A and B are shown apart, each in its own frame.
Chain A
Amino acid sequence: MSAVDPIVRFENIQKSYDGEVNIVKNLNLDIERGEFLTLLGPSGSGKSTCLMMLAGFESPTQGTIYLDGQALNKIPPYKRDIGVVFQNYALFPHMSVAENIAFPLGVRKVPKSEIEQRTKKALDMVRLGHLADRKPIQLSGGQQQRIALARALVFEPKLVLLDEPLGALDKNLREQMQIELKHLHENLGVTMVFVTHDQSEALTMSDRIAVFNDGIIQQIDSPTALYERPANEFVATFIGETNVMRGTVEQLINNTCQLRLNSGALIHAEAGAGLQIGQPACLSVRPERIDFTLASDAECNRINGHLAEYIYHGDHIRLRLTLAENDDFMIKVPANHWQGSFTPGQATELCFRASDCRAVPVA
């Protein structure tokens, strides 16, 4: 986790608002130069607080944040040289688009001709050069978002923080902006720290994702690693969709284990870190990893269940099953793979490979 030359380092950071509960508990985090890091977690998990501490709007109760090796605790926000994009954009309503973008340059006493030139460049970067003289209120949500981005980037900050910037946009626009933001990051190479509670957004854009819950980073990893190899039950259920079953660890060999489910079935699974023989564990199986074509494969895990519901989604079909361990077990089948018939209450055997399920410590 410790990079060679991190741009930001959180060292033993704690934050409490009321003196009783720590909203951030002993956080240690290195942000690497040029990466796109997402802080992901449910609301109240401490991710936004971390961002605000980094921006300087909140101060840690304990610990030190370093930016480029320099302790930030005593440096006020306006001297930190960190660009921030807010959820509601916070474009100044009394200034035109160009004046908004020129603002950070103006307060830095950049020469007038240079301001003009850099403002124009920033506007062109977000492809909104033709809107320079408009007031923010005359722009659509997506355009305001881009202006806010241009304003946070125009003074070439060391770091750009984005606090749920896409939350207010509708779904299509949000997806379009995700791609645009990702391209912008790739082209500029600036370090970006992005906060969201939307896991699909995090998966789409990030180099690394730090999953927050309860003031603690549950796991920090690449999107693939998070999805494929969640470290614990929280990450497994928070990232993507999964089916959870509980049992006890019976055997543990390297990265695999045998798990006795509470219903008595024995399951072979990949083992996450921190499992111990005889201890309870949680088995996570992704809905799309259940395969009906595996019935003849002797190696795979088998569980019995009953079909409960059939839900048509166009490109795929979802089946809800009731199992002894979980009466809300979902299966996702591509529509063109589905040949079976559906009768409620019909008994079915589920098969999945040991490599497609993962046992992790109980949260």
Chain B
Amino acid sequence: MELAVENNGPSLKDESRELKIRLRRSQRRQKMKALLLVAPLFLFTLIVFITPIALMMVRSVESPEVQNAFPETSKALMQWQATELPSVDIYALMVQEIRQSWADKTLSQAAQRINYEDPGFRSLLTRTARQLSRGSAPKTAAEAKALLIKTNAQWGELPTWQVIKNTAPAYTSYYLLTSLDLQKNAQGDIVAAPEDQGIYVNIFLRTLWIAFVVTMICLVLGFPLAHLLANAPSKYANLLMIGVLLPFWTSLLVRTSAWVVVLQKNGLINGLLESIGLINEPLILLFNRPGVYIGLVHILLPFMVLSLYSVMKSIPGTYMRAALSLGAHPVVAFFKVYVPQTLPGVAAGFLLCFIMSIGYYITPALIGSPQDQMISYFIAYYTNNVINWGMASALGAILLLASTLLFVLYARLSNRNQIKMG
């Protein structure tokens, strides 16, 4: 008997090893299948979502324009100490590369880039380039320096060269700092921007505040509706649900424009309120903050309602009954037993609405005043109107960062809740 066991030993081991290999093989096939199934969506997301976002993030720190126009000068200036005027060789390089880039038509981009940091630089460079290109090239370096200073005295001043040096590196923190109302002073320290230039922090705060107010209104309006939807007989609940979903089937632009019609001075709301005698003169509901709140709440409410509904639907009615039978007043039972169980839905709905509204563009753009524009308006402005992709990207990156932070916070909170509950 013992002998038999000993004989069986190795073969058993072999068998189990073989089993493991077979198991792994069969699992590998399953894994491959799973990978193949997610591959189309993964590639799609990668190409149209992740890559553009990554490129945008890069744009917020990239600054290739000056190097493109003045490759040699940039290199030389980055070695330069910036304590006194650069050497004549650098003057010579500068003259040569201004003439070259003027011919190549790369000068204007560099001029615009430097102009962001020092307004007026574009005209200096353009005028200089035009004059230089008319004459012949200087013979010696000293001649080049004299020529440049002759075209404009600014070339003989230290700050002019410091600005070019600052914009010379391929990567810059300028856009991100500007987005946060910061700048680098001549010594390279980060300091607050002058008050007349620092507008973005206020706009970020305004964006967050509008998003918060909109989300709170959605929550207050959506909670009772979601509760009704989750507890009404299915016959009525289906009808109500269609009502909630209806806005999704209408174009966003149409809905927003409709609000202009409804909210204007002689619009539906004012007409109705006046005819029943509630007000004597029309309320101003358009192109101001209340208008933006109304428009955004209308668009985001379904997201809040659906988030709450999905959680409320899963709370059986027996909890409330149990609380009542244990002697709790319906109001107490509602707040102590029902509401705590809806918190995951409240958090999900809050986060969804908040994140969606901090990035909203169309509604505030169409029915808000200049004082109601959110950060997305400025991103669009920099993208479409002044073609400053660096600023657009930097503002976008900070918005993305804020959203991500919020999401991480939410994930942390919900995780902790799960542990508490689980």
Contacts and interface: CB of A to CB of B under 8 A. Distances in A.
Interface of A: 55-57, 76-84, 86-88, 90, 92-94, 103-104, 107-108, 135, 137-138, 151-152, 155
Contacts of B332: 107
A107 B337 CA distance: 12
Contacts of A88: 316, 318
Interface of B: 316, 318-319, 321-330, 332-333, 336-337, 340-341, 420-422
Contacts of A80: 325
A78 B340 contact: no
Contact of A103 (B321, B323, B341): B323
A84 B325 contact: yes
Contact of B328 (A57, A78, A151): A78
B319 to A, nearest CB: 5
Given A78-B324, A83-B325, A103-B323, A90 B318 contact: yes
Contact of B322 (A79, A90, A108, A155): A90
B341 A94 contact: yes
B326 A137 contact: no
Contact of B321 (A86, A93, A135): A86
Given A135-B422, A137-B422, A108 B327 contact: yes
Nearest to A79: B327
Contacts of A90: 316, 318-319, 321-322
Nearest to B339: A94
Contact of A155 (B318, B326, B329): B326
11 contacts: A78-B333, A82-B325, A84-B321, A84-B322, A92-B341, A93-B341, A94-B340, A104-B327, A108-B327, A135-B421, A155-B327
A107 B126 CA distance: 80
Per DSSP, are chain B's interface residues mostly helix, strand or loop, or mixed? helix
A221 to B, nearest CB: 29
B239 to A, nearest CB: 20
Contacts of A57: 321, 324
Given A76-B324, A77-B325, A78-B326, 14 more contacts: A82-B325, A83-B326, A86-B321, A87-B318, A88-B318, A92-B319, A92-B322, A93-B421, A94-B340, A107-B336, A108-B327, A135-B422, A151-B326, A152-B325
Contacts of B318: 86-88, 90
Contacts of B316: 88, 90
The 5 closest A-B pairs by CB, nearest first: A90-B322, A104-B326, A84-B325, A90-B318, A107-B328
A94 B421 contact: yes
A108 B330 CA distance: 13
Contacts of B341: 92-94
A237 to B, nearest CB: 32
Contacts of A79: 327
Contact of A107 (B327, B340, B420, B421): B327
Contacts of A138: 422
Contacts of A77: 321, 324-325
Contacts of B420: 135
Nearest to B330: A78
Among A80, A81, A94, A151, find the residue whose CB has the most chain B CB atoms closer than 10 A: A94
A93 B316 CA distance: 11
Contacts of B322: 84, 86, 90, 92
Among A57, A152, A155, find the residue whose CB has the most chain B CB atoms closer than 10 A: A57
A76 B422 CA distance: 34
A158 B340 CA distance: 30
B365 to A, nearest CB: 42
A152 B422 CA distance: 24
Nearest to A96: B420
Among A76, A77, A83, find the residue whose CB has the most chain B CB atoms closer than 10 A: A77
A83 B318 CA distance: 13
A172 B390 CA distance: 71
Nearest to B326: A104
Nearest to B319: A90
Nearest to A101: B326
B421 A137 contact: yes
A144 to B, nearest CB: 12
Contacts of B324: 56-57, 76-78
B337 A81 contact: no
A78 B321 contact: no
Nearest to B316: A88
B421 A103 contact: no
A82 B336 CA distance: 20
B231 to A, nearest CB: 14
Nearest to B333: A78
A87 B319 CA distance: 12
A155 B340 CA distance: 23
Given A86-B318, A107-B332, A135-B421, A92 B337 contact: yes
Nearest to B420: A135
Among A55, A81, A92, find the residue whose CB has the most chain B CB atoms closer than 10 A: A92
B317 to A, nearest CB: 9
A55 B421 contact: no
Contacts of B325: 55-56, 77-78, 80, 82-84, 152
Contacts of A107: 326-329, 332, 336
Contacts of A87: 318
Among B318, B319, B324, B326, find the residue whose CB has the most chain A CB atoms closer than 10 A: B326
B140 to A, nearest CB: 84
A333 B331 CA distance: 60
A92 B421 CA distance: 11
Nearest to A136: B421
Nearest to A107: B328
A86 B320 CA distance: 12
A86 B325 CA distance: 10
A123 to B, nearest CB: 16
A137 B318 CA distance: 16
Contacts of B337: 92
Nearest to A148: B322
Contacts of A55: 321, 325
Contact of A81 (B319, B327, B328): B327
A93 B330 CA distance: 18
A88 B325 CA distance: 15
A103 B322 CA distance: 11
A77 B321 CA distance: 8
A82 B322 CA distance: 11
A79 B332 CA distance: 13
